[in-house]
Amino acid sequence: MAKKTLIGLEIHVELSTDKKMFCNCKNQYGADVNTQVCPICLGLPGALPVIDKQAVEYAIRAGIAFDSEIADAIRMDRKNYFYPDLTKGYQISQADHPLCSGGYLEIELESGRKKITLDRIHIEEDTGKQLHTEDGTSLLDFNRCGVPLVEIVTNPDVSSAEEAKLFLEKLRNTLKYIGISDVRMEEGSLRCDVNINVVDDEEGTKTNITEVKNLNSFRSAVKAIEYEEKRHRVLMEKGENTDKETRRWDEVAGETILMRKKYTADDYRFANEADITPIKIDREWLESIRKNLPELPHAKKMRFIEEYDLSDYEAGVLTQSQELAHFFEETLVNVKDAKLLGNWMMGDVLRRLKDEDKDFEEMPISSTNLAELIILVKDGKINNNTGKKVLREMFETGKSPGAIVEEKGLIQISDEGELEKIVVETLDSNPQSVEDFKNGKDRAVGFLVGQIMKATKGKANPQLVNKLLMEKIKER
């Protein structure tokens, strides 16, 4: 195919530091408007910025996680542009000398793994936030001014909306694993810009790059890419071209809207930030950061496959978040059966969380209680179906499985003598089903099992029921 889509991503990640990038104001989401500000983050005359060491460390963690080269020293620059919530009229960022250069992240496609390379990871400060009222008034909240960011810039290695989604999901997961950001897109702590154009290798033509700004959900990123890809291809087929422009995604209209002609580096008039002297990155400090970095998602996945004999798919699901992986290993200490535990977690547990629209961090039951439930099923004290009902009640009430089983009298009936009586009574009451089974209608057994389970209120041991049922039918 002659035409191909080239997509580069710029991901802005708010760092979960204790304080802002260049001052001592708290870095905390959700405070009353304009209460976490000072002369430095407001850009008042004479205020001098001092770079936060924790922010630099967090950015280095990201660089190490993505196999980037870490610079020997930091130099900050001023990026000049006008925006109502940019109090100083410039942003302190990095231009020619980023903290981290290169690197990559691999995504897994049906065709195999694909490496998405990074151009750079640099540090900068966030701007304030505009709040628009229904009467058309715009208000400004400067609490976000000066919040530390890393900007992660990819090369144009992404070829489709699906690849972009896979990359962003894995990036988000990795950033959360290394503990530098809560990456909550709904709170603005992870935002994505998309640069996209289409190239025709046979004709030697290409559309101009369009930038779509501030996409704050994976869904929006996917939809914006799909829309822009189609728009660029239609223009190319007409022999027309796009302008170099910046657009935004309109969720209601389902289309991108022109914001402005695209800025160039010259427009930003980058200049050295003279108020912050270059800072050398101590190599011993760098190595201590590297040494103390937590286990990364891919390494954890490989360990789960090796250590717990899980499939690639199973390990991938169970390591999709640090909280989920930790919960699995914590529960496994008591369950001691990785396959069984994995089936419960990937099936009923994750399904229930999805039904309730909850992230795993909002898991309402403890690893101890889940282990207790699985052991009750494993030891034959309750059957699998009863276990699922108990799990539902655990989610709803927070009670332990033992308490629920005791309150409702759910202990499985495994007494052979007691079950034998119920089986005989069921067969006596349903002679036609016995005759149907003998005539080759296997479904008749399912009906008989159902009647037995109904008579025992679902508490009969299903394996024992099937064994006794076959024995008693043969005797007739």
Predicted local confidence at residue 37, as pLDDT:
96
Q: Which pair of tokens denotes residue 194? A: 């998309």
Predicted local confidence at residue 287, as pLDDT:
96
- What's the pTM value of the predicted model, to 2 decimals? 0.82
Predicted local confidence at residue 216, as pLDDT:
86
d(C-alpha 154, C-alpha 104), whole Å? 8
For residues 304 and 324, is the Cβ–Cβ distance under 8 A? no
Predicted local confidence at residue 264, as pLDDT:
65
Place of tokens 């067969």: 427
For residues 409 and 445, is the Cβ–Cβ distance under 8 A? no
For residues 212 and 196, is the Cβ–Cβ distance under 8 A? yes
Name the nearest CA neighbour of 5 among 166, 204, 170, 206: 206
- What is the distance, to the nearest Å, from the Cα of residue 129 to the centroid of all Cα atoms in its chain? 25
Predicted local confidence at residue 195, as pLDDT:
96
Domains of the chain (ranges; CATH) run 3-285 (no CATH), 295-408 (no CATH), 416-474 (1.10.10.410)
Q: One digit per residue, pLDDT tens: the chain, 476 residues?
A: 578 999 999 999 999 999 999 999 999 998 999 999 999 999 999 999 999 999 999 999 999 999 999 999 999 999 998 888 888 899 999 999 999 999 999 998 988 999 999 999 999 999 999 888 888 898 999 999 999 999 999 999 999 999 999 999 999 999 999 999 999 887 889 999 999 999 988 888 899 999 999 898 899 999 999 999 999 999 998 888 888 899 999 988 999 999 877 666 667 889 999 999 999 999 999 999 999 999 999 999 999 999 999 999 999 999 988 899 999 999 999 999 999 999 999 999 999 999 988 888 889 999 999 999 999 999 888 888 889 999 999 999 999 999 998 888 777 777 778 788 888 888 888 888 878 777 777 788 888 888 888 888 777 877 788 888 888 887 76
Q: What string of DSSP letters covers 147-175?
A: -EEEEEEE-S-B-SHHHHHHHHHHHHHHH
For residues 246 and 214, is the Cβ–Cβ distance under 8 A? no
Predicted local confidence at residue 476, as pLDDT:
67
For residues 1 and 233, is the Cβ–Cβ distance under 8 A? no
Name the nearest CA neighbour of 80 among 278, 266, 276, 274: 266
